[in-house]
Amino acid sequence: MVAAILWLIFCLALLIGPFVLPLAAPVQLTIAAIGAVLLVLGSAVFLVTKLYVRTRANQAFVRTGRGGNLVVVDGGALVIPVLHEVVRVPLETIRLDVDRLGADALVTADKLRADLKAQFYIRVQPNSEDVLNAARSLGEKTFNLSAIEELVKDKLDSTLRSVAATRTLDELNANREGFAAEVKSAVEADLRFNGLTLESVTISKLDQTDTKLLNPNNVFDAQGLRRIAEITQQALVARNEIERAAEEARKQKDVATRLKILEQERIEAEAEAINKTRIAEAAAEEKARVAAVQAQKEAEARRVQIDQEQQVSQLEVEKERRLQEARLEADRAAWTLLFSAEEAHRLAGEVVPLDAHPGGRNRWAMTIREPLGVIAAITPFNFPLNLSMHKIGPALAAGNTVVHKPATTTPLSALALVQLFEESGLPPGALNVVTGPGGEIGDAFVTHPGIAMVTFTGSPEVGVRMRSLAGMKRVTLELGNNSAVIIEPDANLDAAIPRCVTGAFAHSGQVCISVQRIFVNENIRSEFTDRFLAATGKLTLGHPHDPSTDISSLITIPEAERVEHWIAEATSAGARLLAGGQRRRATITPAVLADAPETVSLSCREAFGPVVTINSYAHLDDAIASINRSDYGLQAGIYTRDLDRAFHAARRVHVGGFMINEVPQYRVDNMPYGGVKLSGSGREGPRYAIEEMTEPKLITWNVS
């Protein structure tokens, strides 16, 4: 078939090829004619050959033998030349079956073998006396008693041993018929390949009186069956001996295994006893350790509580702060320190993708953040503990050292704080405190070459002076505010009014982001003002150590006199004093004014006292414009249910932080905190302060 296909391709190439190549027309026609003639002749030869083979093949049935290397022909011997010459079957792999033919077939096959001058195998299974005699005269193999005895003996012996190797004696005795059938099947398969038929062999019934025959042609007699029975019995005896030996070995192995198991159990029992003892000892040690740790924690908690109470008392004494406010500040300072400690774990740079540029091929880069060095921290009086912690905590977390200058009026908290740091294991010199006049010390800080950065919270006048003297030093400033809040006509007054009262008068107004200006839409001004005055009237003036006190004294009498003067200035300019404003020594009753002009001090400067102004507006943009005309820009807020208007104001108001449905006094200690314009520069809050107190360094390396 392959040759025919190749011939066809060759002829087609002759037919088509000339017309593809650039040849002369006569040459093309000549080559094409030759190709056509060869194609016709080849087709004729292929058809004749195929017809001849099919005709011959119809005279006999050809089948492939075991393994695919033996061709067996049942029937006419004349098909052998066809197999050999046309189909190319080697003669030595051809076997001619003549078991169902007469003696004449043997003679014909032998003559054909002589004509071919080659050998092929003629298998003879005599089915008559004349065929047997003819086969013997030709010397062909016949299956006599001796041949089948040897075949069955070998097969039975190997099969019995194979089965015995995979069966126990109990299994063989319990299923002798099944074992006999298994042996019979194996022997019969081998005999069938060699041309025999084993109709019935039942090993358990083979004896001297058995007359069952091996095939229906009565070639074998009872003597052959007895020989098979003897062979089978010998195999069974050998199998029994093997099984007994195996059983004995198994018993010995079981004894050895049992001894090993007992020894292993003994070892495991001893190990378990030792482990229990060790576990009990370890549990006792752990219990003692836990008790010691718990006792240490309780002692530490008591010490921290004592320290915190001492700080609270210190705040009450040096600032005459209300007890609730002092406790709140001490708690906030602890949170600020905790946030700073957490941010120390996150102090990291970034990977720079240099390979984005052709010149950065095979190069890597990263940034790291390094501490600046010595940080000078200057803090005010109003929150002497927490505002100090907002500078000291991030500076130490970033790896800097600190020189702290507390307010002249509140130095005791700073001194107690540095003592706590020292007791907690802070290295000597990492935190230092300098007390004294603010002007002299501040100027020394900003001009000293050993100080890398100054962080200051205080008045705008001092802050601007420090920045002008600092030169190339890094400076962060928090300089106060005159915070404003907008009340829209759809605002929730039940939520807004209590928060505005607290935002205006908490800490007696001495907060950088205290509510100082309230802009109320003209449609709700009357209702808001009445309810605000009613809530303000419920505030209690008293001693700072009294838990029921809401309003206490200012830091000094001169500060109270200044606030009193500003109130008088506003009323002289046309503002209406709706409530409060009376001074007794350093205490001023909560003051509420209306319609204060933008030019008076209460509107354009930081009051830092218990005073608030209420003005009305017609349009939201009018209120936004009034807020933006201030020189300050720390924080502001708005109350409204309309998010579009809320975010319109948030984007338009020029401040460092904008609160929606909250007063501008709102602050938690991990948020960024800082302002624009005269309110300062830079940001506080541990994470953001650490960024101010470190600088990035670039590191690159060539990896090629």
- φ and ψ at residue 221, rounded to 5 degrees: -110, -175
Which is more confident, 268 or 42?
A: 268
**Is the separation of the CB atoms in 359 and 374 below 8 Å?**
no
Average pLDDT over residues 475-500: 97
For the record, the structure tokens of 552 come out as 């206490």
Three-state DSSP state, 631: coil
Contact 547, 582 (CB under 8 A): no
CATH of the domain at 645: 3.40.309.10
Residue 176 in tokens: 């002798």
Domain boundary among 36, 55, 74: 55
pLDDT at 283: 79
**What distance lies between CA 464 and its chain's CA centroid?**
51
Report the predicted TM-score, pTM, of the whole model to 2 decimal places.
0.58
Q: pLDDT higher for 419 or 87?
A: 419
- 521 pLDDT tier (thresholds 50, 70, 90): very high
Give domain status of residue 606, yes or no: yes
Number of domains in the chain: 5
Of the candidates 53, 59, 58, the one whose C-alpha atom is nearest the C-alpha of residue 4 is: 53
Same structural domain, 236 and 109: no
Could you give the CA distance from residue 152 to residue 143 in angstroms, rounded to a whole number?
12
Does 153 share its domain with 174?
A: yes
Assess whether 40 and 180 both reside in one domain: no
Backbone φ and ψ of 564, nearest 5°: -60, -40
User: Which phi and psi (to 5°) does residue 383 adopt?
Assistant: -130, 75
- Give me the CATH number covering residue 402: 3.40.605.10
CA-based nearest residue to 571, from 598, 539, 549, 597? 597
Say yes or no: 474 and 491 in one domain. Answer: no
Residue 57 has pLDDT above 70, yes or no: no
Residue 293 domain-assigned?
no
Which distant-in-sequence residues (6+ apart) come within 8 Å of 52 by Cβ? 82, 86
124 and 155 co-located in one domain: no
Which residue has 């541990």 as its token pair?
Answer: 686
Average pLDDT for residues 306-322, to the nearest whole number? Answer: 53
**pLDDT score at 15:** 60
Task: State yes or no: is 604 an active-site residue.
Answer: no
Compute the distance between CA of residue 684 and CA of residue 513 in angstroms, rounded to an integer.
Answer: 14
Of 269, 298, 332, the position where a domain reaches its end is 269
For residue 381, pLDDT over 50 is answered with: yes
- Tell whether 319 is covered by a domain: no
- The Cα diameter of the chain in Å comes to 156
Non-local (6+) Cβ contacts of 543 within 8 A are 549, 552
DSSP string of 303-329, one letter each residue: HHHHHHHHHHHHHHHHH---HHHHHHH
Task: Tell whether 562 and 652 lie within a shared domain.
Answer: yes
User: For residue 259, is it within any domain?
Assistant: yes
Residues 51 and 65 in one domain: no
194 and 258 together in one domain: yes
Q: Which domain holds residue 226?
A: 146-269
Cβ atoms 649, 617 nearer than 8 A: no
- Are 250 and 208 members of one domain? yes
Q: Are 454 and 473 in contact (CB under 8 A)?
A: yes
| 512 a catalytic residue | yes
Is 70 a domain residue?
A: yes
Q: What is the DSSP string of 397-455?
A: HTT-EEEEE--TT--HHHHHHHHHHHHTTPPTTSEEE--S-HHHHHHHHHH-TT--EEE
C-alpha to C-alpha distances, 704 to 355, 445, 556, nearest whole angstrom: 13, 48, 69
Q: Measuring CA to CA, which residue among 582, 579, 601 is closest to residue 592?
A: 579
* Domain match, 375 and 432 both: yes
In a domain, 324, yes or no: no
Mean pLDDT of 519-532: 98
CB 495 within 8 A of CB 530: no
Query: Phi and psi dihedrals of 65, rounded to 5?
Result: -85, -170
Residues, the chain, total? Answer: 704
Model confidence pLDDT, tens digit, residues 84-127 = 554 455 555 555 555 445 566 666 666 666 665 555 555 555 55
> Do 387 and 434 fall within a single domain?
yes
Three-class DSSP category at 89: coil
Mean of the per-residue pLDDT values of the chain: 77
Q: Which of 269, 299, 332 is the last residue of a domain?
A: 269
Task: Give residue 535's pLDDT band: very low, low, confident or very high (50, 70, 90).
Answer: very high
203 touches 186 (CB < 8 A): no
CA gap 443, 378 in Å, rounded: 11
Catalytic residue among 188, 320, 329, 478: 478
pLDDT at 8: 64
15-30 pLDDT, tens digit each: 666 666 666 667 666 7
pLDDT of 207 over the 50 cut: no
- 586 closest CA partner among 608, 556, 543: 556
- Residue 349, both tokens: 């740079």
Question: In this predicted structure, what is the pLDDT of residue 100?
Answer: 47
Asked if residues 196 and 141 have their Cβ atoms less than 8 Å apart, the reply is no
Contacting residues for 578 by C-beta, under 8 A, at least 6 apart: 529, 533, 592, 593, 594, 614
Question: Which pair of tokens denotes residue 329?
Answer: 């500040």
Catalytic residue among 188, 318, 320, 512: 512
Q: 351 is written with which tokens?
A: 């990977």
**Model confidence at 373, in pLDDT bands (50, 70, 90)?**
very high
- Binned at pLDDT 50, 70 and 90, residue 195 comes out as very low
Residue 339 lies in a domain: no
3-state secondary structure 163-199: HHHHCCHHHHHHCHHHHHHHHHHHHHHHHHHCCCCCC
Digit-coded pLDDT (tens) for 217-270: 333 334 444 444 455 555 556 556 666 766 777 777 777 777 778 777 778 787
**According to DSSP H, which parts of 477-556 are helical?**
493-505, 525-537
Average pLDDT, integer, range 471-478: 95
Q: Is 308 domain-assigned? A: no
**What is the rounded end-to-end Cα distance, in angstroms, of the chain?**
62
- 204 in the same domain as 108: no
Q: What is the pLDDT of residues 628-671, one digit of tens each?
A: 999 999 999 999 999 999 999 999 999 999 999 999 999 999 99
